[in-house]
Amino acid sequence: MDAPAVDNGLPELPNVIGLLARLFEGTAFSHFLHKWEFVIFSVFAMLLILIMVWLGSRKISLIPGRMQSLLELIVGGFDDFVQGILGPKGRRFTPFLGTIFIYILFMNLLGVIPFMKSGTASWSTTMALALCVFFYVQYTALREFGLFGYIDHLAGKPRGFMLLSVIFPVFFFFMEIVSELIRPFSLSLRLRSNIWGDDLLIAVLSGYGLPAVPVLFFNMMILLMSALIQAMVFCVLSAVYFALVLEHEE
């Protein structure tokens, strides 16, 4: 097993982009590869998804093949999952949440494959995903309530004495604003920290050589489950954020 490289004092397993950058060390191409390493792996995960979808949808029929059956199972199961959180009208969020789930899952799984790397181990990647959720939630809230209705929602919909007190509505309003602004950071850091920690664990264990193989194999199984769980947690929290800005009957 290859010894892990050391990046900023922390062990790191070699990956194909890093090895390619090392091959062209000292050139502008090497600098480009180092700078955009996580983006390249994120794009690669996207290409894998596109290939999988193309293979599953190129010959759609009433009697589905294996790939079409798999895709229909995934889509149907996730649609039921989203509606279980948001209700029947929440189906319109299934394409968005489902895309994020599959994308994060593929990026997470890349870190388990030798000479590959998880795009979600970079905060810039997870923050970009979290900001997509944040802006879509704000757009949904404005569409549901309107500008003044959303302000009323953030203020806790004060009525009667609560409205006349002024202090409580203003307090609730600013607390909700802070809460909304914190969510992209908490959502992105949670995912990035867990995946980065998983990658670091593999790199550390691989440094012990053959004696660590049984432990490394056991941890690989755990990391496969962790890749799925972390993608699901991100989407569950995103769905909850949508639920908070929808009317209660939804």
Answer yes or no: are the C-beta atoms of 103 and 45 closer than 8 Å. Answer: yes
- Return the pLDDT at 5: 54
Q: Quick one: 141 exposed, middle or buried, by C-beta within 10 A (0-12, 13-18, 19+)?
A: buried
How much is the average pLDDT of 218-247?
A: 90
Taking the C-alpha atoms of residue 219 and residue 202, their distance in angstroms, rounded to an integer, is 8
Answer yes or no: are the C-beta atoms of 189 and 123 closer than 8 Å. Answer: yes
What are the backbone dihedrals phi and psi of residue 7, each rounded to the nearest 5 degrees, phi first?
-125, 115
- Return the pLDDT at 229: 94
Taking the C-alpha atoms of residue 73 and residue 81, their distance in angstroms, rounded to an integer, is 12
pLDDT digits (tens, 9 = 90+) for 66-114: 777 777 888 888 888 888 888 888 889 999 999 999 999 999 999 888 8
* DSSP-derived secondary structure for 97-130: HHHHHHHHHHHHHHTTSTB---GGGSHHHHHHHH
Taking the C-alpha atoms of residue 17 and residue 37, their distance in angstroms, rounded to an integer, is 6
- Could you tell me the two tokens for 160? 């009667």
Taking the C-alpha atoms of residue 106 and residue 108, their distance in angstroms, rounded to an integer, is 5
What are the backbone dihedrals phi and psi of residue 115, each rounded to the nearest 5 degrees, phi first?
65, 15
pLDDT digits (tens, 9 = 90+) for 3-29: 455 455 567 778 899 889 888 888 998
Compare 53 and 130 and report the one with higher pLDDT.
130
Residue where the block lists tokens 């090895």:
19
How much is the average pLDDT of 158-180?
A: 77
Taking the C-alpha atoms of residue 88 and residue 68, their distance in angstroms, rounded to an integer, is 24
pLDDT digits (tens, 9 = 90+) for 172-219: 888 889 999 999 999 999 999 999 988 888 888 777 766 767 777 778
How much is the average pLDDT of 37-52?
A: 92
Cα–Cα distance list, 225 to 11, 105, 153, 196, 198 (Å): 23, 10, 38, 15, 11
How much is the average pLDDT of 229-242?
A: 94
Average pLDDT, the chain: 85
Compare 38 and 68 and report the one with higher pLDDT.
38
